[in-house]
């Protein structure tokens, strides 16, 4: 048996960003690996996830998750292999997902990990299409937005990990029309030619409201919001009476240092009797088994497609995060570790 690693590299937050995070706000450090205690497992991470919500945790503000601590490792979704165990139900060689990412080696309380099957799907998929982003799309569309067959659905940030899955799930379940916005012509082409969206537009090529009106002349019934700002304002204009909005994220605002004016038409929520509900995937973990069963079936049949943008090497982890914030990824952005 090979010796267990004595040290691990991990990304620490060293300063609170002002606006866009910079390299001066973080540090990649080598630290000792702690001895396992009863009920813990030692995991060699193979992949970790970088996600928009992590930007909010860099701020020292009260939210649904505590902020990252200064001079401590950041965390987030990760998938890896158990290399030592002092916990019942976990043995060396098991594959698990947990929330101690941004590092090579993780000491994980077994109660905060769960088994995954790399024979069912590649390990990285459990951080994306079969992971929290996929579950977010699934419960956000079907539960929060109360999707119904025949709905017209608009998804912002539609080429991202969550948005691309929302649009495809709506199509699979019988949407009348699925529309997406993205930040490049290449991503627009991906949405219509591979993911099966009925229409898509590049939000950088003109006002969102005008492009959405052209793509959905009869209006929309559901808006899945990943962007906020002008996208939310445009969706409020386009929504039909009794339309529904799932508020998943507002990435356009995360690095703003000044208040943003949009949406300026929120009164339409009253006039149209709209339902607008925020979404946190952690409220829906009980749906995980149903979600994996359904989505694994759609993946196997070819009805659901997904992309991953893989960045190799922990040393490129922070660059992967800022790249994701700028929309450089197609599908889920993941950091692979050797």
Residue with tokens 């906020």: 228
160 within domain boundaries = yes
Whether residue 157 is contained in a domain is answered as yes
pLDDT averaged over every residue in the chain = 94
**How many domains is the chain partitioned into structurally?**
2
Buried b (16+ CB within 10 A) or exposed e, 98-120: bebbbbbbbbbebeebeebeeee
8 Å CB contact between 211 and 235: no
Are 138 and 256 members of one domain? yes
Our CA dihedral for 153, 157, 162, 168, rounded to 10 degrees, sits at 40
Q: Are residues 165 and 258 in the same domain?
A: yes
Show the CA angle centred on residue 227, arms to residues 224 and 229, nearest 5°: 110
Residue 253 has pLDDT above 80, yes or no: no
> What's the confidence (pLDDT) of residue 2?
67
Q: State whether residue 127 is helix, strand or coil.
A: helix
- Tell me if 288 is assigned to some domain: no
Torsion angle of alpha carbons 89, 130, 144, 253, nearest 10°?
110
**Same domain for 55 and 105?**
yes
- The pLDDT tens digits for 131-179 are 999 999 999 999 999 999 999 999 999 998 899 999 999 999 999 999 9
Tell me, yes or no, whether 58 and 139 share the same domain: no
Q: Residue 207: in which H helix or E strand, if any?
A: none
Sign of CA dihedral 242, 246, 252, 253: positive
Half-sphere exposure of residue 247, counting CA atoms within 13 Å on the CB side? 11
Identify whether residues 264 and 206 lie together within a single domain.
yes
Contact 245, 237 (CB under 8 A): no
8 A C-beta contact, residue 50 and residue 76: yes
pLDDT in tens, 98-144: 999 999 999 999 999 999 999 888 999 999 999 999 999 999 999 99
C-beta of residue 144 within 8 angstroms of C-beta of residue 173 = no
3-state SS of 137-158 is: HHHHHHHHCCCCCCCEEEECCC
Q: Which pLDDT does position 131 carry in this prediction?
A: 93
CATH number, position 31: 3.90.180.10
Which residues are CB-contacts of 326 (< 8 A; sequence separation ≥ 6)? none
């Amino acid at each position: 048996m090979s010796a267990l690693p004595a040290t691990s590299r991990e990304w620490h937050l060293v300063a609170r960003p002002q606006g866009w995070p910079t390299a001066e706000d973080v540090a990649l450090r080598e630290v000792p690996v702690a001895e396992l205690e009863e009920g813990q497992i030692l995991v060699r991470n193979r992949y970790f996830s970088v996600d928009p919500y992590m930007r909010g945790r860099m701020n020292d503000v009260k939210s649904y998750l505590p902020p990252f601590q200064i001079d401590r490792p950041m965390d987030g979704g990760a998938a890896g292999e158990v290399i030592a165990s002092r916990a019942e139900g976990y043995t060396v060689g098991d594959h698990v997902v947990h929330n101690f990412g941004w590092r090579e080696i993780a000491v994980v309380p077994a109660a905060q990990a769960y088994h995954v099957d790399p024979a069912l799907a590649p390990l990285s998929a459990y951080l994306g299409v079969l992971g929290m982003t996929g579950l977010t799309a699934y419960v956000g569309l079907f539960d929060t937005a109360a999707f119904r067959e025949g709905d017209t659905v608009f998804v912002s940030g539609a080429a991202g990990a969550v948005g691309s899955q929302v649009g495809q799930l709506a199509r699979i379940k019988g949407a009348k029309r699925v529309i997406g916005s993205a930040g490049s012509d290449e991503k627009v082409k991906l949405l219509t030619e591979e993911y099966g969206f009925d229409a898509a537009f590049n939000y950088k090529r003109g006002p969102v409201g005008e492009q959405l009106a052209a793509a959905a002349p009869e209006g929309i019934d559901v808006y899945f919001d990943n962007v906020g700002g002008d996208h939310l304002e445009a969706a409020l204009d386009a929504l039909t009476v009794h339309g529904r909005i799932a508020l998943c994220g507002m990435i356009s605002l995360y690095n703003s240092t000044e208040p943003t004016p949009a949406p300026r038409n929120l009164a339409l929520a009253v006039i149209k009797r709209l339902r607008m509900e925020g979404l946190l995937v952690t409220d829906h973990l009980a749906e995980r088994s149903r979600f994996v069963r359904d989505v694994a079936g759609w993946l196997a049949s070819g009805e659901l497609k997904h992309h991953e943008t893989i960045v190799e090497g922990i040393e490129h982890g922070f660059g992967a995060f800022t790249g994701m914030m700028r929309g450089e990824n197609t599908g889920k952005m993941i950091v692979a570790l050797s």
